[in-house]
Chain A
Amino acid sequence: DAGVIQSPRHEVTEMGQEVTLRCKPISGHDYLFWYRQTMMRGLELLIYFNNNVPIDDSGMPEDRFSAKMPNASFSTLKIQPSEPRDSAVYFCASSSRRLAGYRGDEQFFGPGTRLTVL
């Protein structure tokens, strides 16, 4: 398996623009997580899904952020409108409890999207 795939790897945009980050989890994983990492705040959980259903979005900073998971192999995190304080690395991670003999609580991270909002 190719692992968790994220796109784009780098995004530079101007304040006020819409930004869409994309994630493809590992095939067969039923949990998907979106994190944000900054120097000041470290790694923060934004939202997570189970079987494509959002379970906990308490970490989403404000209404400008939204996340969707239309199917088991794709999720998006959207910021509209973007602001300079949204600049961070955004990670997507996936995990599974359904695979026999598997350490299901391990989360596998994608390479991240480095977002810069000017």
Chain B
Amino acid sequence: RKEVEQDPGPFNVPEGATVAFNCTYSNSASQSFFWYRQDCRKEPKLLMSVYSSGNEDGRFTAQLNRASQYISLLIRDSKLSDSATYLCVVGQDNFNKFYFGSGTKLNVKP
């Protein structure tokens, strides 16, 4: 069983739409949670950390449900520039060992 599971998509949405991604993780002892963004043929970059209380950064909202072991990312008012692959990441081993989901591809169309 994979440590982190994501729907690969693609999600094709029009500009201005709201889109949500979920991912599930298998190890209940996981300690840290993130969403990374990866553009085509580029390296992954941190989008936001995910906290139990939920957190928001502009148009992006992340939620963590430890009981159900899933993490979500909500993007409001989608922009063309949001088109990318979004990687769900779970940290273990005293926060150092990261497990990456396979990514969810988002295409925002005009």
Among A103, A105, A106, A112, residue most surrounded by chain B Cβ atoms (within 10 Å): A105
The verdict on B71 contacting chain A, using a C-beta distance below 8 Å, is no
The verdict on B44 contacting chain A, using a C-beta distance below 8 Å, is yes
B90-107 to A contact mask, C-beta < 8 Å, 1/0: 010101111111110000
Complex CA gap A107/B49 in Å reads 11
Main secondary structure of the interface of A (DSSP, over half): strand
**Tally of chain A residues near chain B (CB < 8 A):** 21
Answer whether A43 and B96 are a contact pair too, CB < 8 Å, given A103-B49, A111-B42: no
* Residues of chain A in range 75-118 having any CB-CB distance to chain B below 8 Å: 91, 95, 103, 105-107, 109-112
The verdict on B20 contacting chain A, using a C-beta distance below 8 Å, is no
The verdict on B72 contacting chain A, using a C-beta distance below 8 Å, is no
**Neighbour of B45 across the interface among A48, A50, A109, CB < 8 A:** A109
**Tally of chain B residues near chain A (CB < 8 A):** 20
The verdict on B17 contacting chain A, using a C-beta distance below 8 Å, is no
Chain A positions within 8 Å of B42 at CB level:
111
> Is A48 a contact partner of B100 (Cβ separation < 8 A)?
no
Q: Within the complex, what minimum Cβ distance (angstroms) separates A102 from chain B?
A: 12
> Is A105 a contact partner of B43 (Cβ separation < 8 A)?
no
